[in-house]
Chain A
Amino acid sequence: MITEIGHYALVLACALSVTQALVPLWGVWRKDEALMATAQPVAVMQFIFTAVAFAALTHAFVSSDFSLLNVVQNSHSQKPLIYKISGVWGNHEGSMLLWVLILALFGALVAVGSRAMPRDLSAAVLAVQAWVSAAFFIFILLTSNPFLRMAQPPIEGQDLNPILQDPGLAIHPPLLYLGYVGFSITFSFAAAALIVGRIDASWARYVRPWSLIAWIFLTLGIAMGSYWAYYTLGWGGFWFWDPVENASLMPWLAGTALLHTAAVMEKRDALKIWTIFLAILAFSLSLLGTFLVRSGVLTSVHSFANDPARGVFILAILVFFIGGSLALFAWRASSLRQGGIFAPVSREGALVINNLLLTTCCATVFVGTLYPLALEAFTGDKISVGAPFFNLTFGPLFVPLILLMPVGQMLAWKRGDLLGAAQRLVVAASVGLAAALIFSALQGGPVLSVLGVAFAAYLIIGSFVEVWGRITGPGVSLSVAWMRAIGLPRSAWGTAFAHAGLGVSLFGIAAIGWGVEVVHALRSGELVPLGRYELSIGALERRNGPNYDASVVPIDIREGGRVIAHIDPARRFYRARQMPTTEAGIVTLGLGQIYVSLSELNADGSIDARLYWKPYVALIWLGALFMALGGALSLSDRRLRIGVARRAQTVAQPAE
């Protein structure tokens, strides 16, 4: 009964989303308070029902209810509990249900937090949001229903794709979806602004928390996906310029641009049309990613079961929302009041350059991702646009971006002092130069690595020059500096951390050039040198898990004759799916990692393996964590809490 209640809850949520898509809009059109007011409770109720549906599906997975087709196809009674739970979204149907759950959650959050927003704006936002969720509810119910039942339930399921049986599945998709869906909120805000016909600085204030939340989660989701691919696929790489990865990078680039231009709009009431356009773009690219990944255009671990009907349906959703919003944009944008004009050398000027560079990056990825697909569709030729293309185009675009990032932080609104900013960045530039000298002396190696580390050091230091200048000065004591540090707006710290985070990632990427890679047939008892370490190979062992058999090679890692770490790289064989997987043995030493991946068990008892020493590699993902931390700091800035908590306060002391 629980399953059917979940199914019915999903249908009800769909019906509610249709109501929410229509009644509040009608209210906006008629300027009717009561009709507009339906948006909030319905949004909350829609979330509750979606959550019930999701809980019911989770229950079916956890209790191995094989009367559900979806559970049969993607679960197994012997699977560990965590993978039974994460398996709920480890398949197409369930992942779409997670998608609408997060959509409904964000809708409910907007509804709850909308008391401080003009009624017509919040009603229109929630209505647009409901259009999006209605489309996906219908998509799920008609083409990807996770609640389909089987009259003759089998006794065992077909198990989850072994590659997905990993803690990463519990983290990566929810984070990424929080990001993608977060951009659906900014999209809804953009469309709502066009519908209501009023876009000003206050709009940017309402949108900012949502674009920040989306950006934080997307950053974490991409980083987590990258780390997962790194340790699961066994190639030792962290980014493959794979279309599926690009599908998540494009909304990130557009979203990053949006975040910055929304700041200009908020402070200067300018760049309004461009901001609206970016909001539409970020979500359109998210939808495009969904289409590429789920339609069967691409084959990857993300595609799950491909079904042409689904592809067509998602394409229809894509065309409707992108086309609809762009049409709305074309129709209404001309009627919007333009904001003020500004000087090229100013904070807003710097942000415009940032935007140009980021959108160019985004366009580059777009071309590199879609051109091969389009070419194949039209001419049948298969070409591969891989790392060389992206490295050649991305590098030149990122160099000016990195150089300008600290400069932009230093410039004032309206009128900036470029020379002054440059002078204050001398310190950062010298640190970069010093880093280049030190590392070329210590590591030598490729020029690109040395250059990369120089840029990274410049960016990390440069990101903090502005706040450093604020909190210190001649004769300032430690306690005063501390007080000043706390007194600085959180968004200033947020900017510094997020920018520095990019520098940290860049450092890790640059250091790849100093890595060591060995392909070797391991034999029990031998010592394999790897960088400054030695790997002592143990005898092959069998260790069987609940639903797999594993062959493990225990390896001790030695430095100077002393054992400092131990890894257990393995090959696993999943019984239900009859599929082998590779479990890389990874250990973090300092900021670097030793990475051993087994590829083949030979008949003579030796084991083919790839062995890597990757110095500073952990910085790649640590940098992303810094970026997300920066976003979180900015999110906690008090200026974003307008109206909600401070309403009483502002009434009491109007002259704050």
Chain B
Amino acid sequence: MIWVVFALMTGFAVFSVLWPLSRQRRDVTRREIETNLYHAEIAGIERDVERGLMTSADAAAAKAESARRLLAQADQVPAVTSRFSVKLAALLAICVIPALSLGLYSYLGAPDYIDMPLQARMEGKGDDLDIAAAIARIEQHLAREPDDARGWEVLASVYRQLGKPASVARAYRQLLRIEGPSAQRLFVLGEALVYANDGRVDAEALQSFEKALAADASIIDAQYYIGLAAQQRGEPQKAMAIFTKMIAEAPPGAQWVDVLRERIAQMGGTGPASAAAPAPSAGMPAPSPEQDAAIRGMVLRLAERLSAQGGSAEEWSRLVRSYAVLKDIDKARAALEAARKQHQGEGALFDALAKELGLGG
């Protein structure tokens, strides 16, 4: 369709050259033009005389000058029309204009691209629903009604799926403003800010975590981030103290304990086992060989099921985590890769997981 339009347009362009070439002309002749000018000049001189801008003697001389100019033009060579030139010009127009324009356009243009006005994108339905357009629609709605908490929640979850933590944080700030502080909301805000800052816990995030913890002491992850903040500030002693305390208070079987141990090891600590308690009495007990085998069996079954039937993003995460805990890094990476393939929209989640477990993307 668009090529038909282009062809028509090219036709018009070529026509604008061919038409004057083929036309029989009977316009004003050169002679008429010169005569008109002469009359206009004489009239002008007479007006100047009337206004006193010229004496009559000077006017007579000026008129004579004009007449001389008119006569001088009479010996101009009359113009001709050569049939050969006309044909050559027509041929050039027919070849050069389309060649030049189509050549340039094929180099520069994007004929397959349709128009994408924002309104149409936002009204798109079914298959061509444009996620970005849907977001824009919610954003526009919220710009008009910024107090719609439900809207901000939806927006936050969409942004989380798209891996845009800064936007999640923005939505949660609004939620906090509308619905007041809650431990959960404060924590989510803080975590989103940490992701938005590439893992750095900034002042606002730290404040959110502290408030969240004050509201609900059971939010252990908040403690972790507070410890992380201390580590980033260059206060390893403080960080180690927090992590050690967390390990000590961890429920049996909590997998994140390993992460904490790793952190402590990074900071040069020896781990809580030696510092806090002689034995992993409260923390996760080191698995006995039998337990270890049992765990490996469970992981294997999960892996088989997921690779055969697929599973939710959470299940995949669990598998990756399990491999990481078992220190089977290659398998963890492979599982992460498979998970990414199956849940392409969850890139952010898996990125975060990889970061957390130190799997390097």
Contacts and interface: CB of A to CB of B under 8 A. Distances in A.
B104 A45 contact: no
B36 A116 contact: yes
Given A8-B6, A45-B12, A155-B136, A647 B86 contact: no
Interface stretch (A18-26, A292-300, A349-357, A429-437): A18-26
B254 interface: no
Contacts of A200: 69
A117 B33 contact: yes
Interface residues of A, number: 81
A488 interface: yes
Given A15-B100, A63-B119, A643-B37, A33 B54 contact: no
A269 B118 contact: no
Contact of B16 (A4, A16, A651): A16
A449 B54 CA distance: 39
Contact of B65 (A3, A41, A269, A656): A269
B55 interface: yes
Contacts of A44: 16
Interface string B109-134: 11101111111010000000010110
A37 B22 CA distance: 10
B142 interface: no
A118 B34 CA distance: 8
Interface in A599-629: none
Contact of B89 (A2, A26, A63): A26
B43 A656 contact: yes
Interface in A33-58: 33-38, 40-42, 44-45, 49
Contacts of B62: 267-268, 413-414
B115 A470 contact: no
B89 A33 contact: no
Contacts, number: 236
Given A18-B100, A45-B12, A120-B79, A141 B108 contact: yes
B30 interface: yes
A267 B44 contact: yes
A34 B110 contact: no
Interface string B36-59: 110111111001100111110010
Contact of B117 (A63, A201, A488): A63
B275 interface: no
Contact of A32 (B51, B85, B108, B133): B85
B32 A35 contact: no
B2 interface: yes
B100 A201 contact: no
Interface in B85-107: 85-86, 89, 92-93, 96-97, 100-101, 104-105
B81 interface: yes
A70 interface: no
Contact of B40 (A12, A147, A154, A642): A642
A514 B248 CA distance: 80
Q: Indicate the member of A154, A340, A489 with the most B CB atoms within 10 Å.
A: A489
A153 B130 CA distance: 10
B10 interface: yes
Given A19-B17, A32-B82, A67-B115, A116 B33 contact: yes
Nearest to B54: A413
Contacts of B16: 16, 38, 41-42, 44-45
B27 interface: yes
Interface string A121-163: 0000000000000000000010001010100011110000000
A30 B27 CA distance: 19
A118 B65 CA distance: 20
Interface in A147-195: 147, 149, 153-156
A639 B40 contact: yes
B13 A49 contact: yes
A66 interface: yes
A23 B117 CA distance: 41
Given A19-B93, A149-B113, A642-B40, A412 B86 contact: no
A60 B36 CA distance: 48
B109 A201 contact: no
Contact of A205 (B21, B37, B52, B79): B37
B118 A66 contact: yes
Contacts of B113: 3-4, 67, 149
Given A26-B85, A60-B115, A31 B17 contact: no
B80 A33 contact: yes
A63 B100 CA distance: 31
Nearest to B30: A118
B268 interface: no
A269 B70 CA distance: 13
B101 A12 contact: yes
Interface range on chain B: under 10, 10 to 19, 20 to 34, or 35 or more? 35 or more
A443 interface: no
Contact of A33 (B42, B43, B51, B79): B79
B143 interface: yes
Interface in B282-298: none
B29 to A, nearest CB: 9
Contacts of B100: 11, 14-15, 18
B72 to A, nearest CB: 9
B116 A65 contact: yes
Given A45-B13, A654-B39, A414 B58 contact: yes
B85 A65 contact: no
A477 interface: no
A7 interface: yes
Contacts of A2: 115
A650 interface: yes
Contact of B110 (A35, A149, A492): A149
B123 to A, nearest CB: 13
Nearest to A151: B113
A5 interface: yes
Nearest to A37: B20
B109 A11 contact: yes
A267 B43 CA distance: 12
Q: Indicate the member of A2, A9, A154, A155 with the most B CB atoms within 10 Å.
A: A155
B150 interface: no
B47 A489 contact: yes
A42 B139 CA distance: 48
Nearest to A466: B51
A405 B100 CA distance: 53
B327 to A, nearest CB: 40
A42 B20 CA distance: 9
A49 B16 CA distance: 12
A483 B23 CA distance: 48
Given A23-B17, A413-B53, A647-B32, A9 B9 contact: yes
B55 A415 contact: yes
Contact of A19 (B27, B97, B121, B140): B97
B82 A16 contact: no
Interface in A623-656: 639, 642-643, 646-647, 650-651, 654, 656
B23 A4 contact: no
A413 B62 CA distance: 10
A593 B35 CA distance: 55
Contacts of A413: 48, 53-54, 58, 62
A67 B116 contact: yes
A3 B52 contact: no
Contacts of A33: 25, 79-81
B116 A8 contact: no
Given A33-B79, A65-B116, A149-B113, A40 B132 contact: no
A488 B65 CA distance: 25
B308 interface: no
Contacts of B111: 4
Given A15-B13, A19-B97, A26-B89, A3 B105 contact: no
Q: Which 3 A-B pairs have the closest CB atoms?
A: A63-B117, A45-B16, A155-B132
Given A11-B108, A120-B79, A643-B28, 16 more contacts: A4-B2, A5-B5, A8-B101, A15-B100, A16-B13, A19-B96, A32-B85, A34-B81, A42-B16, A78-B140, A118-B34, A153-B132, A155-B133, A155-B136, A470-B51, A489-B47
